[in-house]
Amino acid sequence: MSLYAIGDLHLSFTANKPMDIFGKEWKDHVKKIEKNWKIEKNWNKMISSGDTVVLAGDHSWGRNLKEAEADLEFIASLPGRKILLRGNHDMFWDAGRTKRLNEKYNGRLFFLQNNFYSYGNTALVGTKGYCYEGKDSPEHFEKLVKRELERLRLSYELAVAAGYTSFIQFLHYPPTSIGEEESGFTRMALEYGADQVIYAHCHGKDRFQDSFLGNVDGVNYRLVSSDYLKFKPERILP
């Protein structure tokens, strides 16, 4: 039994959204997904039914649940337990819909938002997160960060109330904005003693260094964007 993570599948089985406009590495990316992960190929070789895979946001280009259903069914069909984090492009999933999604996909997918997931003695906590990318007013940026920090603290506190003392923190956005040496998300990881912070969202070689990588203040930071991982899930825990 192992824990894996990957983010940014950007599936579009129903929505028409070719990804190769974002770079040659995205050309035929669904075929790469099928080759690397699908049942008869590497996913089955890498991921068994006893493993857990956290998908760190941006699962589907579907603008609503109907358009996203084929993408979610594809994810559900892959071996292992799948834990989904909300990304900035996941329009099918607003914050108030998490309970409904967990009911709809009960036993097939778990949607991590204002809750936590038990992985042995470790609690998997998380939220979408947010960082500054040059598009916000300071007021809007602070508002969104405050909201996401509240959601992340709720995730931690629910896990603490259930008796957990070991945590892995998941975000979709990187934990810091470019140039930041710390943020509310990194401080919260330290506050609760998270062993790792896993995030996605950063695409292309020019963006892979946007935030922390490796050990920072005793916390291991890992980027799991699908193009960074060459579309292969990364093992987080053995």
How confident is the model over 124-161, as pLDDT tens digits? 999 999 999 888 899 999 999 999 999 999 999 999 99
* Residue 39 predicted with pLDDT over 50: no
Return the higher-pLDDT residue of 54 and 44.
54
Query: Which strands sit side by side in the sheet containing 214-216, from one edge to the other?
Result: 117-119, 122-127, 166-171, 196-199, 219-223, 214-216
CA distance 150 to 133: 21
What pLDDT was estimated at residue 19?
A: 60
CA distance 194 to 54: 16
Return the higher-pLDDT residue of 16 and 85.
85
* Residue 20 predicted with pLDDT over 70: no
CA distance 27 to 10: 12
Residue type, 148: E
What pLDDT was estimated at residue 169?
A: 98
Q: Once rounded to an integer, what is the mean pLDDT over residues 195-223?
A: 94
CA distance 59 to 37: 15
Q: How far out from the chain centre does Cα 197 lie?
A: 11
What pLDDT was estimated at residue 35?
A: 66
Return the higher-pLDDT residue of 195 and 27.
195
The pLDDT confidence band at residue 44, using thresholds 50, 70 and 90, is low
Residue whose C-alpha is closest to residue 5's, from 124, 133, 180, 140: 124
What pLDDT was estimated at residue 41?
A: 46
Query: Which strands sit side by side in the sheet containing 109-112, from one edge to the other?
Result: 109-112, 81-85, 52-55, 3-6, 234-237
